[in-house]
């Protein structure tokens, strides 16, 4: 069930606290826009009054249950009400905008924990870590010129065979990049459809996770993939498996777990129309032995790097326009790395009193010196005075004549690009890469 497609659910709807008051209605999911439930009538309280019709305190409803025409259970999360009412009619039309839809399960509470396994697909993931599951065998004639046959070998991909790599992160959360194959022969095998793809798997064995916990890990991975691909990455589909929602077959056959699909409204993002893996910052095959450790450190919450990671990703991903706000964002992230990880050691080594503040000019000069063995850094001609003047002008709106080296336009873009390289090297260093590894990685930038 893709988030890029419209979905309509017709059925009955009710509040978890009043299952006997079922109301007919239609739920419409419009990708990138809204998720709206429209009821003919509304939910009633004990006095027979429509809830949320005129009282502001009931405008927000945490959960709404439903069952659609396919007998699928539906939970709507974080619903906000509005209504239209014609006083000549006997009923109102109530509308609820929802933040999330959970298909095929009624959850008791959004924060309830369960041994879910989440399966998430991204358009970019198969390009970043190709599945490589299907093997093609080509047979030639005796002369070796013409192809006689072409055979595709489709492995079963059970267990470890389906895992590209896996890593255990903080709190025993297991993140895996897996491969899969789908095949549909079509009617009379006239139009067979064969696809292989990579997907993300999230779980915490033996402990379980809530749906917000899963989204927390998902968004961190989404940032990592955005960094790697330099694109505004969003997931295209997501479903969960609950070990309690399954069909057990006789004779010890494998159980079938019913997928619990998740729909949520995502805001539109800008990306180049064509997905080109040659323009990625790095790909899985560039450093397969290091990616698991790199990802585990990126997924950490305890390193206090999250704001800096966000600034780094926001500065790297595609934007149709780059301006002063992007410049300030990169400068702020560089200063954040300095104050968090380098300031104390710098003061001790240079015997600097606490009252004296380290200037931005000194910070940039010291960082360049520390990263001087990285070719991308040593070869850049960063105008530190221009960075300082531009930061002060765009941050504090001082008289431009007092900051003569302030840059704008193409010059500011080039300055931002150089600072972004510094920030990228700093974050890679904090994630555990050596300068030699950073040098190799930066030299492959396309």
- For residue 185, what pLDDT is reported? 84
How many CA atoms within 13 Å lie on the side-chain side of 106? Answer: 14
Cβ neighbourhood burial of 208 (10 Å; 0-12, 13-18, 19+):
middle
- For residue 125, what pLDDT is reported? 96
Average pLDDT, the chain: 88
Q: What are 267-320's pLDDT values in tens digits?
A: 888 888 788 888 898 999 989 999 999 999 999 988 878 888 888 888 888 877
Q: Which residues of 133-161 are buried (b: 16+ CB within 10 A; e: fewer)?
A: beeeeeeeeeeeeeeeeeeeeeeebeeee
Taking residues 322-344, report their average pLDDT: 89
Separation CA 41–CA 60 (nearest Å): 17
SS3 172: helix
- For residue 401, what pLDDT is reported? 73
Q: What are 270-281's pLDDT values in tens digits?
A: 888 788 888 898
Chain position carrying tokens 């009193």? 353
Taking residues 81-95, report their average pLDDT: 71
Q: What are 394-422's pLDDT values in tens digits?
A: 987 777 777 888 888 899 999 999 999 99
φ, ψ of residue 136 to 5 degrees: the values are -105, 125
Element (H, E) at 24: strand 18-30
Separation CA 124–CA 228 (nearest Å): 10
Question: With 70 as the cut, is the pLDDT of residue 206 above it?
Answer: yes
- For residue 57, what pLDDT is reported? 61
Highest mean pLDDT among 346-350, 363-367, 396-400: 363-367
Q: What are 217-254's pLDDT values in tens digits?
A: 999 999 999 999 999 999 999 999 998 888 777 666 66
- For residue 275, what pLDDT is reported? 87
Share of the chain above pLDDT 70, in %: 94
- For residue 308, what pLDDT is reported? 85
Nearest to 30 by CA among 13, 12, 14, 9: 9
H helical segments located in 354-408: 360-370, 375-378, 384-396
Q: What are 6-24's pLDDT values in tens digits?
A: 999 999 999 998 899 899 9
- For residue 253, what pLDDT is reported? 64
Contact 192, 186 (CB under 8 A): yes
How many CA atoms within 13 Å lie on the side-chain side of 329? Answer: 18
- For residue 42, what pLDDT is reported? 82
pLDDT band at residue 350 under the 50/70/90 scheme: confident
Residue 89 token pair: 């009619």
Share of the chain above pLDDT 90, in %: 50
- For residue 254, what pLDDT is reported? 67
DSSP string, 85-116: --TTSSS-EEEEE-SEEEET---S-TT--B--
Residue 53 token pair: 């019709």
- Longest C-alpha distance within the chain, in Å? 88
Element (H, E) at 327: helix 324-337
Q: What are 369-392's pLDDT values in tens digits?
A: 999 999 999 999 999 999 999 999
Strand partners, 58: none
């Amino acid at each position: 069930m893709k988030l890029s497609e419209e979905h309509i659910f017709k059925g009955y709807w009710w509040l978890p606290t009043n299952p006997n008051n079922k109301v007919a209605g239609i739920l419409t999911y419009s990708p990138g826009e809204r998720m709206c439930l429209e009821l003919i009538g509304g939910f009633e309280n004990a006095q027979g009054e429509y809830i949320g019709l005129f009282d502001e305190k009931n405008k927000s409803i945490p959960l709404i249950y439903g069952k659609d025409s396919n007998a699928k259970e539906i939970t709507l999360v974080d619903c906000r009400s509005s209504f239209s009412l014609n006083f000549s009619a006997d009923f109102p039309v109530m509308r609820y905008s929802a933040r999330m839809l959970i298909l095929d399960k009624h959850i008791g509470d959004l924060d309830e924990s369960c041994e879910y396994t989440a399966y998430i697909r991204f358009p970019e993931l198969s390009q970043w870590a190709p599945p490589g599951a299907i093997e093609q065998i080509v047979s030639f004639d005796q002369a070796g010129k013409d192809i006689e046959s072409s055979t595709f070998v489709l492995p079963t991909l059970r267990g470890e065979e389906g895992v590209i790599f896996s890593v255990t992160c903080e709190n025993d959360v297991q993140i895996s990049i897996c491969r899969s194959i789908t095949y549909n022969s079509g009617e009379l095998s006239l139009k067979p459809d064969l696809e292989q793809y990579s997907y993300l798997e999230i779980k915490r064995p033996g402990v379980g996770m809530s749906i917000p916990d899963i989204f927390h890990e998902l968004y961190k991975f989404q940032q990592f993939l955005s960094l790697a691909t330099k694109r505004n990455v969003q997931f295209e589909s997501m479903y969960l498996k609950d070990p309690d929602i399954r069909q057990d077959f006789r004779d010890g056959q494998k159980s079938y777990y019913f997928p619990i699909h998740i729909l949520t409204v995502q805001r539109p993002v800008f990306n180049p129309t064509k997905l080109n893996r040659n323009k990625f910052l790095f790909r899985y095959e560039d450093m397969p032995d290091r990616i698991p450790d790199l990802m585990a450190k990126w997924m950490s919450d305890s390193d206090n790097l999250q704001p800096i990671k966000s600034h780094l990703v926001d500065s790297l991903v595609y934007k149709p326009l780059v301006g002063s706000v992007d410049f300030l964002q990169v400068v702020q992230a560089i200063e954040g790395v300095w104050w968090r990880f380098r300031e104390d050691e710098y003061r001790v080594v240079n015997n600097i009193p606490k009252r004296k503040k380290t200037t931005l000019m000194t910070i940039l000069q010291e960082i360049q010196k520390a990263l001087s063995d990285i070719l991308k850094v040593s070869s850049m001609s960063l105008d530190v005075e221009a960075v300082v003047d531009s930061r002060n002008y765009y941050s504090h709106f001082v008289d431009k004549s007092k900051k003569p080296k302030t840059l704008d336009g193409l010059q500011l873009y080039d300055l931002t690009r150089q600072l972004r390289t510094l920030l990228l090297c700093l974050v890679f260093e904090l994630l555990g890469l050596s300068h030699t590894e950073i040098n190799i990685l930066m030299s492959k930038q396309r």
